[in-house]
Amino acid sequence: MTLTPKAARDCCGFTLLEVIVGVMLLTLLSVSMYRFLYTNLEAIRIGTEMHAEKEALGKVVDLVQTHLVDMPPKGQGMLSGRPVRLRDIDYDELQWMCKAGSGVMTGAAIGDYKVTFQLRPRDERGSVYDLGLRRQSFDGPQDEWNWLPLIEDVASLRIRYFDQRLNAPVERWNDPNARPVLISVTIWKKLDEAPYEAVLTVPSAMLQQ
């Protein structure tokens, strides 16, 4: 049986144009799948990091809350706080008095300590700040203290104190004879992201009323 020229062309397979179109379609499909997988893996990574950061910040705030709960009902100047603002960014500080112990990781020490919850620049340039505790012996020299870093690379820290007498939050607490009932803490890991917010209680404040 002899094939006609048209039949011979029909049996010769795919044309070059058909092969090129097929390769292009496979390439587009592969690129789309890669972008889909990359986007989902990146979203999972970012979500995991954000969860870990939130958990770490929560533990730090819980440490501060523990000190506020353990604060004795009697005593003047046991708690104070001041606002610090640089380049329109909050770097507030909260200070309290406490005994040496595991709470400030000074288990081998004795006596009373002044502990400041604050942001501290990592270097002289002040481009990166770490969140931690500045610990200083109450009876020691004012220029002797040690630093306990807790969270690296924190952008901003804002602390406000609820004053029952004013029924309003204030940015500074310097009354040695009274304590705020509530303390709000707002921490920004990055300024362009949503902050971590917590409201802490000072149980001993109610006993001073």
54 phi/psi in degrees, rounded to 5: -65, -40
Is 196 strand, coil or helix?
strand
Q: What is the pLDDT of residue 174?
A: 94
Is 112 strand, coil or helix?
strand
Q: What is the pLDDT of residue 197?
A: 96
Comparison of pLDDT for 192 and 52, the residue scoring more: 192
* Mean pLDDT for the chain overall: 84
Mean pLDDT on 10-25: 74
Select from 67, 57, 170 the least CA-distant residue to 119: 57
CA angle in degrees (0–180, nearest 5) for 68-65-201: 70
Task: Grade residue 167 by pLDDT with cuts at 50, 70 and 90.
Answer: very high
Counting other chains too, the contacts that 123-130 makes at CB distance below 8 Å and 24 or more residues apart are 128/152, 128/153, 129/91, 129/153, 129/154, 129/155, 130/154
Comparison of pLDDT for 60 and 144, the residue scoring more: 60
Q: What is the pLDDT of residue 168?
A: 95
- The answer to whether 77 touches 176, Cβ cutoff 8 Å, is yes
Handedness of CA 104, 114, 60, 119 (dihedral sign): negative
- Single-letter amino acid, residue 6: K
Q: What is the pLDDT of residue 30?
A: 82
Residue percentage of the chain with pLDDT more than 90 = 48
CA angle in degrees (0–180, nearest 5) for 197-62-128: 60
Question: Is pLDDT at 66 greater than 60 in this prediction?
Answer: yes
- The answer to whether 110 touches 177, Cβ cutoff 8 Å, is no
Per the structure block, which two tokens stand in for 39? Answer: 């986007």
